[in-house]
Each structure stands twice: as C-alpha cells, then as structure tokens.
Amino acid sequence: MTEFVGSQYLIEAIYLIASALFILSLKWMSSPATARHGILAGEIGMVLAIAGTLLHHGIVDWKWIIVALVLGSGIGIPLGMVQMTAVPQRTALSHAFGALCVTLVGTAEFYLQTPHVPRFTMSVLSMEVILGGLTFTGSLMAAGKLQEILPQRPITYKGQNFVNFLLFAVAVGSAVYLVLHPGATQLFPLIVGVSLIFGVLLVIPIGGADMPTVISLLNSYAGLSAAAMGFVLQNKLLIIAGALDGSSGLILSIIMSKAMNRSFTNVLFGAFGQVQASAAGGQEAKPVRNATPEEAAAILAAANKVVVVPGYGMAVAQAQHKVRELYDMLTKKGVEVRFAIHPVAGRMPGHMNVLLAEADIPYDRLIEMDEINGDFPQTDVALIIGANDVTNPAARTDQSSPIFGMPILDVDKAHTVMVIKRSMNPGFAGIDNPLYYLENTLMLFGDAKQFVGGIVRELGGGH
Amino acid sequence: MSSTLIDSLFVFMLAAFIGFEVIRHVSPLLHTPLMSLTNALDAIAVVGAIVLVGERKSEYATILGVIAIVAATSNVVGGFFITDRMLRMFKTSRPVKK
C-alpha cells in the first residue's frame, strides 16, 4: 500500500469511531426502550463515515458523487415510507440494492486492477461478486414473490438441486482458475453471470412460508459480500459492518430454520421448498363446526383469557386494525387478551410484531411461542387469524406429516379454538390441519378483516 | 501486504463474534427493525463506491460507481427511515383506559 497521507489518518480515526457507533447501534437494539438510540448511533456513524470518505486524498471529482448521493436519497425516502404490510418485500429489495452496490464496485475494481490482482485479493474479490451477484438476483426474486409480481408457489423441476449445484460449482471453479491464472480475465464475466443466474434459480423453488428463512439468509450473504469488499479495499469499517450484518442474518436464519424444524445445513444448501410435495391425502369431507360473528362474540365476551394467534392471513386481509379494536373492546370488558407470536409467522422475522405494533397494540401483549405455550390449557379461547401450519397439531403427533417435529403453538389445548379462515382450502404448504376437525374448534369462515369487524360490532352493540 | 491481510482477518473474526453476541440478545419482537437497521449499516459499502467514483480512473468504473452509490444511499436513507418509523410504533401498555 502507498504511504498514509495526513488526511488518511483522519479518515481512519473517523472510521474507528463509526465502527464503535455501529456496534453500539446494534447493542441498543436489544430492547425496545433503547432501540431508538441505536438508530441515532447508526446514523451518526454513517454520516461521519461518508463525510470522512469525502476527505480521501484520491478524490478529484465530487460532481458525480453528489449527484449519486442526492439521487439515492431521493429513492430511499419513498422506500422508507412504504406501508408496514410491504416491509418484507422492501427488505428483500434493499438486500438486492446492497448486493448490487457490492457487485458493481467489485466488478469495477477487477477491471481497474487486472491482470495485476494479487492472489488473495482475487479470491476475496471473487467471493464478493459471487455472493453479491446471487444475493442481488435472489433478493429481487424474493421481492417479486412477496409483492406477488411473481408466482408465490414454488417452481420446481427434476434435477433442480443438481443444476443449482452445477452452476455454483462453475462459478467457484472459474474463480479458482482465475486466482491461479490471473491472465484468464475472460472468466470474470462468466463468474458474475453464473452467480446472477444462480441467484434466480436458488429462489424460484421457494414458497411464501419459507420466506423468513430465505430473507434472513440473503441478509447474511449481503453482509458477507460487503465484508469481502472490505478485504478487497482494505477497509476495516466495511469488514466490521459486513461481519455484523453477516452474523445478524446468520443468527436469524438459524432461529428461523429451528422454528421450522429444518436442519441448518438443509437451509444452507437451498433445499427449502421441499415441503410442498406433501400428499394432500384425507380427502373425505370430515365434519367441521362453524359459527357466526354473533356466536363468536358471545363466546369471547364470556371468556376470561383469550389468546390471539395472528398469521400471514391477517397481514393479507389488512385485519390488524380491526384486531386492535377487538383487543380494546375485550380489554374494556375485563378479558385478558394476549397475542401468541410464532417465530415464522408472516413473511419475515418479526413480521407480526411490527404489524401489531403499527395497530397500536402494546408490545408487552405480544408473547413468544415458548413463553405462551404453557398457558394454553388455562386459555378460554384461542382465536386464530390467518395462521395455519404454525398451529397444526399434526406437527406433534403425525410422523408422516411433512411438518412433523416443527415447534407449534399448542392452541388445541385451549378450551375453545376459533379459526378465522376463508375456506377449508389447506394452507400454503398444502397440509391438512386436523385442528379444524377437533370437537372444541369452531370455524369462522370469511375474510379476516370483515369477520373481526363483525365480532367487534356485536360486542359493541350488545350492551 | 500479508500483515495487513492478517490484521483484516483478525478484525473480521472479532467483529463476527461481537455481532453474534450482541445480536443474540435482540428480542424477537424487534427482528424486523433489526434487519432493516443492519441493512442500512451494511450500506456503508457506499464509501467504497464514493472513492471509486471520485478517483475517476476510468469511464466504466465511474458509471458502475455512480449506480453503486445510488443503490447504497437509497438503502442508507430508506433503511434508517423505516427502522425509525417501526420503532416509534412499539409502545408498552399504558394503564387501560377506564
């Protein structure tokens, strides 16, 4: 490396402070009480780092930097204002943007330095563009599926895993060859291109229910690619930020895969989406009991303890504000209402918490699965709104069920179970839910928002 | 050269461990804002793009760099913005209205 110029020391000092602020920022995220300090710390760190970078002695032209910064901010503001229900696709999109940045910078660095790229730099540079490339297209696919531009159903074909493995092997193999033979520059576009295709193919077999795991995993890849970029540019701030993001995504992926009873290696190798192959057996029409909003309201009003189990269906129906009205109404009547949150409910980690918080439901009413499961036997009513597989008792008992072993919310142990559902169609994974045929289960057929609205009207009008 | 490489590996290793320890303690309640925050922080990659554009070493590098800055900046601005919006919504239960 060239000698440090005066300004370089200043920049390194600023980066050091920014790194500390980034770590504090994440540390303060551990509790809702301090989380907003965390944002402030992150913002200060970011502004310092960008301002410091502008002092870089090599910078001779500011015009395009300013234009790009302004343009990016202009795009960022509407992306920060999306509705809470659109947060999963926004998150996927921002993973794509982050990965795009890393891939483009990596590509530019390669062509500026080639063919005199040191071997180590070339290996991390390959890692940077492979991870960046696959995260870019993979995240775009995920965002498209979440936004329902692309089909939500998993797209599978014979030999899928083999094709994916082959593509990955081609990308890595070419990278290794390029490291050993720096003159073979024509391989670089191949590495980038194959990674981009690999990203697409990796995500198409994934259905909606696996999205929390996939988004977390893509988050982790985006972080690792940024860390690799830090190695290429010898920028420690980037290495630290990338490592933090990478480990955050990794932890979330592990939590998500545990909550779905998938081994982590299974997830890592992209073998998500295999559940959908389940047999939709048991077609004989079993009797179910159903109820009207009036009946449901009467049962809820008579209860002491109610646990609401929200799922993706609640988000789709935009029912969270009606649920909040129900919560208010029941609380006023002296009913204890809590919410049971399964780790993979919704389309990304923590999705339900954000939606319910948006609807002004206090966060101390949102209870994690492990904490609330013991309380179901003492619960009068478990009201399930748009959740399916996470309440399926077959996961506990039926060894042949594709979700056997997955931790579930033990709603069937409540005195009365009420399930708001559009119809008897099985949920996303196509697995029949024996819960619906239990004696203590009442099916409330209809749109979640309208049905909850109906219950609220009954509760309000009654007395 | 090799000593800076070793330094960088140490930095990466330590940061990864810190990340694990710190993030393990984040309440599942905040997993969504956590992800949008780490996303914003990760967009620090913008500094690499800024230097790339500023040095004006080649036309291509500048074009790629400009796109990279736009993409990363939108993550910085959008990421912090939406994380803040989400966190403002998290309220604890006040004493129930009479």
How much is the pLDDT for A277? Answer: 43
**Lowest-confidence pick of A42-51, A52-61, A140-149, A150-159:** A150-159
From residue A60, how far is each of A22, A67, A392 by CA, in Å? 29, 15, 62
Rounding to the nearest 10 degrees, give the CA dihedral for residues A70, A71, A77, A83: -170
| A276 pLDDT higher than 70 | no
Contacts of residue B95 in chain A, CB cutoff 8 Å?
Answer: none
From residue B25, how far is each of A34, A174, A208, B42 by CA, in Å? 13, 40, 27, 20
Task: Name the phi and psi angles at A300, rounded to 5.
Answer: -65, -40
Q: A264, A243, A333: which is closest to A297 by C-alpha?
A: A333
How much is the pLDDT for B93? Answer: 72
| A44 pLDDT higher than 50 | yes
Q: Which residue has the higher pLDDT, A94 or B2?
A: A94
Residues B23 and A251 sit within 8 Å (Cβ to Cβ):
yes
- The tens digit of pLDDT for each residue in B26-68 reads 988 999 999 999 999 999 999 999 999 999 889 999 999 999 9
E-only strand ranges, A276-406: 305-310, 336-341, 366-368, 381-385
Contacts of residue A368 in chain B, CB cutoff 8 Å?
Answer: 28
Among A97, A107, A253, which would you mutate to test the B interface (most chain B Cβ atoms within 10 Å of its Cβ)?
Answer: A97
User: What average pLDDT does the segment A169-198 reach?
Assistant: 93
How much is the pLDDT for A208? Answer: 73
- Per the CB < 8 Å rule, is B39 touching A219? yes
Contacts of residue A235 in chain B, CB cutoff 8 Å?
Answer: 47-48
Could you give the CA distance from residue A49 to residue B41 in angstroms, rounded to a whole number? 11
| A282 pLDDT higher than 50 | no
| A389: annotated active-site residue | yes
Residues A448 and A404 sit within 8 Å (Cβ to Cβ):
no
Domains annotated for chain A, with CATH where assigned, are 82-276 (no CATH), 293-462 (3.40.50.1220)
| A59 pLDDT higher than 50 | yes
Contacts of residue A67 in chain B, CB cutoff 8 Å?
Answer: 66
| Cβ-proximal residues to A157 (8 Å cutoff; 6+ apart), any chain | none
Could you give the CA distance from residue A255 to residue A420 in angstroms, rounded to a whole number? 28
User: A264 to chain B, minimum CA–CA distance in Å?
Assistant: 16
How much is the pLDDT for A263? Answer: 73
Q: Which residue has the higher pLDDT, A194 or A266?
A: A194
Q: Does A25 touch chain B (CB under 8 A)?
A: yes
A contact residues 155-194, partner B, Cβ 8 Å cutoff: none
Contacts of residue B10 in chain A, CB cutoff 8 Å?
Answer: none
| A445 pLDDT higher than 60 | yes
- The tens digit of pLDDT for each residue in A1-11 reads 455 667 888 99
Among chain A residues, CA nearest to B46: A101
- Averaged confidence pLDDT in chain A: 88
| A429 pLDDT higher than 70 | no
- Count other C-beta atoms under 10 Å from residue A216's C-beta: 26
| A93 pLDDT higher than 80 | yes
A272: tokens are: 């998500």
Closest in B44, B50, B92 to A363, CB measured: B92
Work out how many CB contacts closer than 8 A connect A with B.
370
- Count other C-beta atoms under 10 Å from residue A438's C-beta: 15
| A356 pLDDT higher than 90 | yes
Among A65, A122, A336, which would you mutate to test the B interface (most chain B Cβ atoms within 10 Å of its Cβ)?
Answer: A65
From residue A280, how far is each of A382, A394, A399, A431, B42 by CA, in Å? 26, 14, 15, 6, 43
Q: A375, A385, A309: which is closest to A340 by C-alpha?
A: A309
Helix, strand, or coil (residue A385): strand
Bridge partners of A444, per DSSP, are: A420
**Lowest-confidence pick of A224-238, A325-339, B58-72, B82-96:** B82-96
The residue to which tokens 């002004």 are assigned:
A360
How much is the pLDDT for A428? Answer: 55
- The tens digit of pLDDT for each residue in A98-116 reads 999 999 999 999 999 887 8
Bridge partners of A305, per DSSP, are: A336
Residue A399 DSSP symbol: T
A311: tokens are: 């799922």
Closest in B26, B58, B74 to A30, CB measured: B26
A320: tokens are: 């969270």
The residue to which tokens 């009946």 are assigned:
A295
| A268 pLDDT higher than 70 | no
Closest in B15, B61, B82 to A90, CB measured: B82
Sequence ranges of the domains in chain B: 28-89
Residue A275 DSSP symbol: G
Active-site option among A245, A389, A432, A447: A389
- Per the CB < 8 Å rule, is A239 touching B84? no
User: A174 to chain B, minimum CA–CA distance in Å?
Assistant: 23
Q: Does A133 touch chain B (CB under 8 A)?
A: no
- The tens digit of pLDDT for each residue in A135-144 reads 999 999 999 9
Bridge partners of A442, per DSSP, are: A418
Most confident of A142-151, A167-176, A268-277, B84-93: A167-176
Q: Which residue has the higher pLDDT, A210 or A390?
A: A390
Tell me the pLDDT band of A278, cut-offs 50, 70 and 90: very low
Is the N-terminal amide bond of A182 cis, ω within 30° of 0?
no
Could you give the CA distance from residue A10 to residue A32 in angstroms, rounded to a whole number? 34
Burial class (CB in 10 A: 0-12, 13-18, 19+), A82: middle
User: What average pLDDT does the segment A59-83 reach?
Assistant: 93
- Per the CB < 8 Å rule, is A29 touching B42? no
- Per the CB < 8 Å rule, is B28 touching A353? yes
Q: Does A205 touch chain B (CB under 8 A)?
A: no
Could you give the CA distance from residue A214 to residue A137 in angstroms, rounded to a whole number? 13
Q: Does A335 touch chain B (CB under 8 A)?
A: no
- Per the CB < 8 Å rule, is B22 touching A27? yes
Tell me the pLDDT band of B98, cut-offs 50, 70 and 90: very low
Residues A214 and A137 sit within 8 Å (Cβ to Cβ):
no
The residue to which tokens 């995220």 are assigned:
A29
Q: B30, B11, B46: which is closest to A243 by C-alpha?
A: B11
User: What average pLDDT does the segment A362-391 reach?
Assistant: 92
